[in-house]
């Protein structure tokens, strides 16, 4: 009997974008079960809390026709992958700069756990420029973000920007 193919798609998803959703839909076709690992990157200041991001990702993935589990983690990616029984890490690539970083990470991860392969998926051409960091920046300046996130996520980002503005007295 063959082993179930389990993939892990890790990220901060702060917020989850249409680009993330593209990789989730396509990545889910490559595995029997896709675990979306929502983590906090200590080098970033998240707009949304861990719980908010978990709820957002779960909601956005609810209509994806695949076996998807959304869970938080705060450990080395390869330890998390092992705990989930994963044999594949799925990563999305937008540009050459992404590739250089991801290639280095994949090499380090293979040194840590050679039983887990990293698979790179190129972002859909129309979604390549999307980055959560840029979505937040556009929103902070009052720009339109509807082309980059779902309507519900867009509302949440705009509401959070307004909330932060009120706290800052702006």
Q: What is the DSSP string of 32-90?
A: SEEEEEEE--TTS--SS-HHHHHHHHHHHHTT-SS-EEEEEE-S-HHHHHHHTT-SEEE
Is 44 annotated in the active site? yes
132 is a catalytic site residue? yes
Does the active-site annotation cover 94?
yes
Catalytic residue among 53, 91, 132, 136: 132
Catalytic residue among 44, 115, 133, 146: 44
Element housing 93 (H / E): strand 88-93
Q: Which two tokens stand for residue 59?
A: 């909601």
Catalytic site residue from 20, 53, 91, 136: 20
CB contact set of 126 (below 8 Å; sequence gap of 6+): none
Cα separation, 7 vs 88, whole angstroms: 5
The catalytic position among 25, 58, 59, 94 is 94
Q: Would you call 20 a catalytic residue per the annotation? A: yes
Catalytic residues: 20, 44, 94, 132
């Amino acid at each position: 009997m063959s082993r179930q193919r389990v993939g892990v798609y890790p990220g901060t998803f702060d917020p989850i974008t249409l680009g993330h959703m593209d990789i989730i839909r396509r990545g889910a076709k490559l595995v029997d079960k896709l675990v979306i690992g929502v983590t906090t990157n200590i080098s970033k200041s998240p707009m949304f809390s861990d719980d908010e991001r978990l709820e957002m990702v779960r909601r956005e993935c609810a209509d994806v026709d695949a076996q998807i589990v959304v869970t938080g983690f705060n450990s080395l990616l390869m330890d998390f992958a092992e705990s989930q029984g994963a044999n594949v890490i799925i990563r999305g690539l937008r540009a050459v700069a992404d590739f250089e970083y991801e290639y280095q990470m994949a090499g380090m991860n293979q040194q840590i756990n050679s039983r887990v392969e990293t698979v790179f998926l190129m972002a859909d051409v129309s979604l390549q420029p999307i980055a959560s960091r840029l979505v937040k920046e556009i929103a902070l300046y009052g720009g339109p973000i509807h082309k980059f996130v779902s309507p519900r996520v867009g509302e949440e980002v705009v509401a959070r920007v307004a909330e932060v503005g009120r706290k800052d007295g702006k």
